[in-house]
Amino acid sequence: MKTIGEEELVSPLSVNLEEQEKKDYKSDDSENLKNKNLEDEMFDFVLQFIERVEGAENQDLLFLFSYSTEGHQKMRNYLQFIWAQILCFLILSVVHVIETKSTIEPCNSSDSCPSLVSYLLPWDSKLSEIATRFHVNVSDILASNSVFPITPSCAHQIISAKSLLKIPISCSCVDGIRRSMSAIYTVQPFDTLESISCGYGGLVSGEQIQSVNNINATNPLTYGGTLVIPLPCTCFNNVNNGVTAIYMSHVVQRGENLGSIATVFGTTVSDLETVNGLGEVALHPGDILSVPIAACSSATLNWYNDSMIVPNGSYTLTASNCIKCTCHSIDLKMQCLPSGLDIPCYNLRCKGSNLVIGDEYVQHSKSGCNVSQCVYRGHRGGKILSSIMNSSYLQCPDNQSHTGVSCWPSAAPYPAPADPFLISPSLFPFPLPISKATPRTRASSGRLGQFFIGVLQLFLLKLILSFLI
């Protein structure tokens, strides 16, 4: 017990321990403060980066960066959500330094024509999502890609990234040039003009979307708002070298050339050069070519109230989806048969016979054979028209059946170029109308420095994620 006036005896060891504890405490506080400041700086950088990429100015994203497990999980989910858009941002920065070209067809009428766009999926998508993206029906996409039968499950099937699809569009005359204005896009959270452009595989640029929709500081992108997506297209009277054709807009990818594109789509290098007015002009990734696709026409088939042009290797549904008309790629002949879909269809039998549309009766003779066929003739007032067509042949025709693929094929996607920057969008507004023989060049106004800044930002973001996730 210590008495009054006595000095407390304190062990030198305890003094050292207390001093050390105080030093450690101060050191821990200093280190914690330093780490806290570092984390705050990193979070501030991420916020600034996201605001730049997304164009966001509100600070509602701060909850994503709380220090709780729930906050980290929310941040992880958010970053996964925008990761594809960040990649698109960097890819678009690369293409800014590339001069791209596009073939534009002038026009002065209000008519329209069937057209196609070649769409390389930037990411995995359900077929229904792709249909919504281009404002078309799922059945239209299936028909253009010769996928049959049509079942409800097809709409939910996921198509792999880098798959190449043909998307049917209507090509109109707008402000003196041909382009499609039927695609309507609903703005989603965190969308930017660049990310929307990326979703369309380079068929349209952010600047084009901005120009058509008058997006500016007083009229910014708004969640839930709708945008018209101007897609490139050409008609050229649906004729190529005197043969019926449908024109498809195709975005050139890295590693492609005129020869490879001609081989994939069944045309010739000469036709591509003539249609696009290339001459000695070099082809670059991001260029949009107009590709002629040979097609079948009903113009010579004496149909009533039904006119169609079907690209070879595909089909279309008509007469309230009761009739399926296919254009065979071998002979470019149109064959119309009952669709077989689970819908009520009447008047499929030719009058005065037992033959249904598409059926034929072959009678052999010494000189060959006579063929009676029930053929489709159009529709009127909900009624399907048909008639018997008689033909004679020296050699009886083969009884070959042409069938499509059941739902979406699981074949390998479109070959990916060796270059990692796959998507090469065209980045500049539509040019003035030009002739068929002279493609308009759309020069880039971007700078190489923007690309390196984007790469540095991606590196820093990944460094941050290594600390947080």
Per-residue pLDDT of the chain (469 residues; tens, 9 = 90+): 444 444 444 444 444 545 555 555 555 555 555 555 555 555 555 455 555 544 444 444 444 444 444 544 445 444 544 555 555 555 444 444 455 688 999 999 888 999 999 999 999 999 999 999 999 999 999 999 999 888 888 999 999 999 999 999 999 999 999 999 999 999 999 999 999 999 999 999 999 999 999 999 999 999 999 999 999 999 999 999 999 999 999 999 999 999 999 999 999 999 999 999 987 778 899 999 999 999 999 988 889 888 899 999 999 999 999 999 999 988 899 999 999 999 999 999 999 999 999 999 998 888 889 999 999 999 998 899 999 999 988 877 665 444 555 566 654 455 544 433 333 333 333 333 333 444 443 433 333 344 444 545 555 666 566 555 5
Residue 372: closest CA among 386, 384, 327: 386
pLDDT at 214: 96
The three-class DSSP label of residue 117 is strand
Looking only at the bridges linking them, the beta strands covering 164-174 and 288-297 are unpaired
DSSP E strand boundaries for 39-122? 100-102, 113-120
Q: CA neighbours within 13 Å on the CB side: how many for 405?
A: 14
Question: ∠ CA(331), CA(335), CA(341), 5° rounding?
Answer: 140
Residue 315: closest CA among 445, 127, 139: 139
Residues ≥6 apart with Cβ < 8 Å to 280 = none
Give helix then strand counts, H and E, for the chain: 9, 18
The three-class DSSP label of residue 43 is helix
Residue 430: closest CA among 250, 233, 256: 233
**Quick check: 210 and 193 in contact, CB under 8 A?**
yes
pLDDT at 425: 35
d(Cα 387, Cα 377) in Å, to the nearest integer?
A: 7
